[in-house]
Amino acid sequence: MDFGFGRNAQQLVIDASSSNLKVVVGSYNPKTGLVMIDKAGIVPLESDTINDGAVSDSFGVVMALKHALAKLDINVRNTIVTIEGGFMHTRDLELPTVKPEQLKDMVKYEIVGQGSNRDVIVDYIVYGKTLDEETKAEKLKVRATAIPVEVANEYRDLLKNADLTPCALDVNPNAIRKLFSGGMINGSTNVNNSTLLLIELAGKTTTITVLDKGFPVLSRRLQFGHGNIRQVAESVKKMQGGGDKQSSLARRLNITKSDADMSVPVDDIDVWHESLIEEPSLQSAVNAYFKSLTDAVSRTAQFSISKYKVDSISTCFLYGSGSGYKKIDKELSRQLGTQVEVLNTISTVAGPKNFIVSEFINCCGALIRE
């Protein structure tokens, strides 16, 4: 499944689903199933430049992207974009076994509806077969996604304005499906033998995916993220930056008067440290975030086990920018009462020594063309 702009070779992938762009240059070998990453980087954007997948400042994105590609010495032009937002509409369907042309029409009818004036692009995959409970006739299990035409056009124009060649438009849930169709996570968990929970911790959103034997049976994108923790930490840093009167938090963040206005790196914030008690505002932000996260994870897990009859979830894997908080896996494991790990490696992805795969999961999956 992809909303193709064309079928040229593609090597540059841009994840435009969050507040900052993620870019990778790489290749996919369909014979070995290996994604090979050559370069990767994060393109910082002004707040709300991209919000819930919608671009509010196309010029700003183009300028930031051009600057980043030059800085990373990326000359590849063939480009895939992967996105996600409230404009997406995804449904699982059970349809009669018919010819491909008929199936295409049936899927579009089910997604768009009769007599609808909505101008959308629809794509789908057939991921299995089932029997109708009443007629016992064979049916196809189909997952279909629709996005507005104007969204596709917006990203295609954006790439062209950045002197890039649009090749394909993917969506993050589909990228995840492709990337986690097999392989080993962290060298010990076989995807095809397990029921897992994948949790993307982004600054403004959280995406929870239930992965059963290599297939995502359920994906939920929630409108809250970890950004409030960092915002509060930066406020604390500015208030307590410098001098001998630093708090333990300020000391642990290595704050001085000269760098008091610099941002706080995510991996400098320890969400499981007793000194949080000394900063009530930061502790409140951490507590509120974890309450929302654990409630959402628990509800999603219970719903999927009940509806899809999957096995109990063995492990939760964290990825995304929020997975860099110190000991976030331990704190989440304590609150959920289950095994939680930061996703550090997946056997189907290889990259440079300093490549942090958890930051670029969507890009890696989008690099796979089917």
Q: Are residues 199 and 122 in the same domain?
A: no
User: Residue 7 domain-assigned?
Assistant: no
pLDDT tens digits for range 106-148: 999 999 875 556 799 999 999 999 998 888 899 999 999 999 9
Q: Are residues 221 and 311 in the same domain?
A: yes
The reported pLDDT for the residue numbered 51 is 86
CATH number for 136: 3.30.1490
| 140 token code pair | 């196809």
pLDDT tens digits for range 256-285: 433 434 578 888 899 988 878 788 999 999
Report the pLDDT averaged over residues 69-81.
Answer: 95
| 164 token code pair | 């890039």
User: Residue 335 domain-assigned?
Assistant: yes
Q: What residue type is 108 in one-letter code?
A: K
**CA nearest neighbour of 196 among 338, 358, 360:** 338
User: Which has the minimum average pLDDT: 2-16, 78-92, 117-131?
Assistant: 2-16
Structure-model confidence comparison of residues 19 and 295, the more confident one? 295
| 260 token code pair | 């008091």
Q: Are residues 204 and 272 in the same domain?
A: yes
CB count in 10 Å sphere of residue 166: 22
pLDDT > 70: what percent of the chain?
Answer: 90
Q: Are 217 and 194 in contact (CB under 8 A)?
A: no
pLDDT tens digits for range 198-241: 999 999 999 999 999 999 999 999 999 999 998 898 888 777 65
Q: Are residues 118 and 195 in the same domain?
A: no
User: Residue 159 domain-assigned?
Assistant: no
CATH number for 218: 3.30.420.40
Q: Are residues 262 and 314 in the same domain?
A: yes
To the nearest whole number, what is the mean pLDDT of the chain? 89
* Angstrom distance (rounded) from CA 92 to CA 216: 12
**Domain assignment of residue 320, given as a range:** 185-344
pLDDT > 90: what percent of the chain?
Answer: 72
Domain count, the chain: 2
CB count in 10 Å sphere of residue 4: 17
**Which of 148, 166, 199 is the C-terminal boundary of a domain?**
148
The reported pLDDT for the residue numbered 277 is 79
Q: Are residues 282 and 205 in the same domain?
A: yes
* Angstrom distance (rounded) from CA 348 to CA 181: 10
User: Residue 15 domain-assigned?
Assistant: no
pTM, entire model = 0.89
Give the CA count within 13 Å in the CB-facing half-sphere of 342: 19
Q: Are residues 193 and 246 in the same domain?
A: yes
Structure-model confidence comparison of residues 351 and 8, the more confident one? 351
* Angstrom distance (rounded) from CA 60 to CA 51: 13
Report the pLDDT averaged over residues 239-266.
Answer: 53
CB count in 10 Å sphere of residue 238: 13
Q: Are residues 256 and 144 in the same domain?
A: no
Q: Are residues 208 and 144 in the same domain?
A: no
Whether the pLDDT of residue 255 is over 50: the answer is no
* Angstrom distance (rounded) from CA 239 to CA 245: 11
